[in-house]
Chains A and B, each alone.
Chain A
């Protein structure tokens, strides 16, 4: 609702008591005969009291850009961990050849931890800060995201052993897949989970561990082959 056509623009200034004294008085008189203006003034009456609760120029703190990824990453990890365990196979007498065939079938069908079959793979190549590192990333779908199985060697560990995995979405957004540690000999093996779906991303990047909201230097990157 807004006030009547002739006085609608005066309602805001009236509620804030920002009209000249004669205008304030004229507005009071007008409202005695104008139900529309009186109703709108009534509906706005609580606003000044609420404004008094804040300060005029209180700064609104900006969020760290990486926090969204951290929250989603935690969500994906918890969802993946909460996935119901598979039922144990009952012990039954099966000929040895049938058991072997069954085991082979299971190995092909699922990855460890109940993940679905790998849907993409990337060869990771060293970037200038990578010092000749190389590796592979194999992606499989899990509840709420993607599990990436990473293998790397020749990682430069002289300046630190902490690294992070990132999935770069097609819209250019980097999604954090978590951090991992390299061994002293520069090798690393890790399984990490990122909040991305097949087709969402085409590039996997390994960086040094981020410091606050500043992403670490790129060490390796590779394009996924679906």
Chain B
């Protein structure tokens, strides 16, 4: 049985093999990287953020208290701070013309990052659905099609489209719950 996130973090100070760190990396690095890329628009900077997040994780694993926040929330908080640092460094250098409408105040940056975190988490939750489940969600919710229209468009029987949509939504809710996402 897979260890919980909190158990892996608890073991991290005694991790000699790197196994606990590797497991946490595989669970969270892809979505943290997606979030950082989305917030920074730069792959290289985003990879630096991911490296820094995991460095903070192993350096401060002993301070982690699962009663205060889940590991995911903690990692996103670290990533958020690193992204703010990266924005500040970028703001310190002379701006190019196309960057002049960049975020200026700390409050604007906070808001933008909160939105970016949520947007990215929903995107990565959708990516965890099977292609057929993702397709019905895409067509029904984003495309505004009814079940009958989806059935006609895809050639899938109407009953199957309906049950598939219900399964897709239930699965998505489980993923959102696991990610502690709320609107």
Measured between beta carbons, the chain A residues less than 8 angstroms from B150 are 18
Query: In the complex the two chains form, what is the Cα distance from A22 to B167 in whole Å?
Result: 22
When C-beta atoms are compared, the residue in chain B nearest to A18 turns out to be B140
Given contacts A72-B18, A72-B21, contact A12 B119 (CB under 8 A): no
A64 touches B18 (CB 8 A): no
Interface residues in B, total, Cβ within 8 A: 58
Partner of B122 from the list A53, A143, A144 (CB cut-off 8 Å) is: A53
Partner of A11 from the list B124, B141, B166 (CB cut-off 8 Å) is: B166
Given contacts A2-B170, A54-B126, A78-B58, contact A13 B147 (CB under 8 A): yes
Closest 5 interchain pairs by CB?
A: A12-B166, A56-B142, A49-B183, A54-B122, A12-B169
Q: Does B76 have its Cβ within 8 Å of any Cβ on chain A?
A: no
Q: Does B55 have its Cβ within 8 Å of any Cβ on chain A?
A: yes
Query: In the complex the two chains form, what is the Cα distance from A74 to B51 in whole Å?
Result: 9
When C-beta atoms are compared, the residue in chain B nearest to A21 turns out to be B146
Which segment, of B23-31, B64-72, B99-107, faces chain A? B23-31
Measured between beta carbons, the chain B residues less than 8 angstroms from A56 are 138, 141-143
Partner of A10 from the list B43, B50, B142, B162 (CB cut-off 8 Å) is: B162
Q: Does B98 have its Cβ within 8 Å of any Cβ on chain A?
A: no
State the Cβ distance, B147 to closest chain A Cβ, in Å: 5
Q: Does B176 have its Cβ within 8 Å of any Cβ on chain A?
A: yes
When C-beta atoms are compared, the residue in chain B nearest to A24 turns out to be B146
Given A49-B183, A63-B50, A145-B18, 4 additional A-B pairs, CB 8 A: A2-B166, A8-B166, A61-B43, A71-B21
Q: Which chain B residues in 77-128 approach chain A with CB under 8 Å?
A: 115, 118-120, 122-124, 126-127
Query: In the complex the two chains form, what is the Cα distance from A57 to B29 in whole Å?
Result: 21
Given contacts A60-B34, A71-B54, A75-B18, contact A16 B165 (CB under 8 A): yes
- A selection of 24 A-B contacts at a CB cut-off of 8 Å is A8-B166, A12-B162, A12-B166, A12-B168, A13-B165, A13-B166, A15-B169, A16-B165, A18-B146, A18-B165, A20-B148, A43-B173, A46-B183, A49-B183, A51-B137, A53-B122, A54-B126, A57-B138, A62-B30, A70-B51, A71-B25, A72-B18, A79-B16, A197-B17
Residues on A close to B: CB < 8 A? 2, 8-13, 15-16, 18-20, 43-44, 46-51, 53-58, 60-64, 67-68, 70-72, 74-76, 78-79, 143-145, 195, 197
When C-beta atoms are compared, the residue in chain A nearest to B160 turns out to be A9
A9 touches B162 (CB 8 A): yes
A20 touches B47 (CB 8 A): no
Q: Does B60 have its Cβ within 8 Å of any Cβ on chain A?
A: no
When C-beta atoms are compared, the residue in chain B nearest to A57 turns out to be B138
Measured between beta carbons, the chain B residues less than 8 angstroms from A9 are 159, 162-163, 166
Measured between beta carbons, the chain A residues less than 8 angstroms from B58 are 75, 78
Measured between beta carbons, the chain A residues less than 8 angstroms from B118 are 50, 53
Q: Does B156 have its Cβ within 8 Å of any Cβ on chain A?
A: no
Measured between beta carbons, the chain A residues less than 8 angstroms from B146 are 13, 18-20
A47 touches B172 (CB 8 A): yes
Query: In the complex the two chains form, what is the Cα distance from A71 to B54 in whole Å?
Result: 7
Measured between beta carbons, the chain B residues less than 8 angstroms from A18 are 140-141, 145-147, 150, 165
